[in-house]
């Protein structure tokens, strides 16, 4: 069921909606206990991250993604690896899972925009959601798989 709104409201909701969703989810996820984010075992199909290297060329672009924790000072910064201590690497893998789930949640909220947008704008909103969140999801998964591999080698 589509809600008919004046165009000004539609534009305002579309422009303000995504930052509110992204930052609101980040705020919520940062406040959740770290213990809630035990990452799942890696899928064999991911080949320890090599799938992401071959299929998406992830090594070429993952370092260009923004890390809100690095520039906001809130949360766990994941832009740079700060050490190889197993405890730190375990924490890092948990934080990649937290980040991945946060981005999946944002992607899952894209249909909210379908309530007030015409079909063509639904497609624009969905395209934005995928473009803004999927690269981050892939990078989180890739990094987590690499750290899990490293931890397995060290133990």
Specify if 2 maps to a domain: no
Show the domain range for 85. Answer: 7-154
Number of domains in the chain: 1
Q: What is the DSSP string of the chain?
A: -PPP--HHHHHHHHHHHHHHHHHHHHHHHHTS-GGG--PPPPPGGGGGGHHHHHHH-HHHHGGGS--HHHHHS-S---SS-----HHHHHHHHHHHHHHHHHHHHHHHTGGGGGGTS-HHHHHHHHHHHHHHHHHHHHHHHHHHHHHHHHHHHH-
Question: Is this model's pTM higher than 0.85 or not?
Answer: yes
Tell me the per-residue pLDDT of 85-141, one tens digit each, with 9 for 90 and over. 889 889 989 999 999 999 999 999 999 999 999 999 999 999 999 999 999 999 999
Q: What is the pLDDT of residues 25-79, one digit of tens each?
A: 999 999 999 999 999 988 889 988 999 999 999 999 998 988 776 666 666 767 6
Flag whether 1 is in a domain: no
Q: Is residue 149 part of a domain?
A: yes
């Amino acid at each position: 069921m589509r809600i008919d709104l004046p165009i000004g409201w539609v534009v305002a909701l579309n422009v303000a909606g995504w930052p509110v969703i992204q930052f609101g989810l980040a705020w919520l996820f940062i406040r959740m206990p770290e213990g809630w984010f035990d990452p799942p075992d890696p899928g064999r199909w991911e080949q320890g991250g090599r799938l992401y290297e071959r299929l998406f060329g992830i090594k070429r672009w993952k370092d260009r993604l923004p890390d809100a924790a690095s520039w906001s000072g809130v949360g766990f910064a994941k832009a740079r690896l700060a050490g190889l201590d197993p405890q730190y690497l375990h924490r890092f893998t948990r934080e990649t899972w937290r980040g991945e789930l946060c981005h999946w949640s944002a992607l899952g909220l894209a249909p909210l925009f379908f309530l007030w947008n015409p079909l063509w704008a639904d497609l624009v909103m969905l395209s934005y959601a995928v473009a803004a969140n999927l690269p981050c999801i892939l990078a989180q998964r890739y990094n987590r798989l690499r750290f899990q591999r490293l931890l397995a080698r060290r133990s």
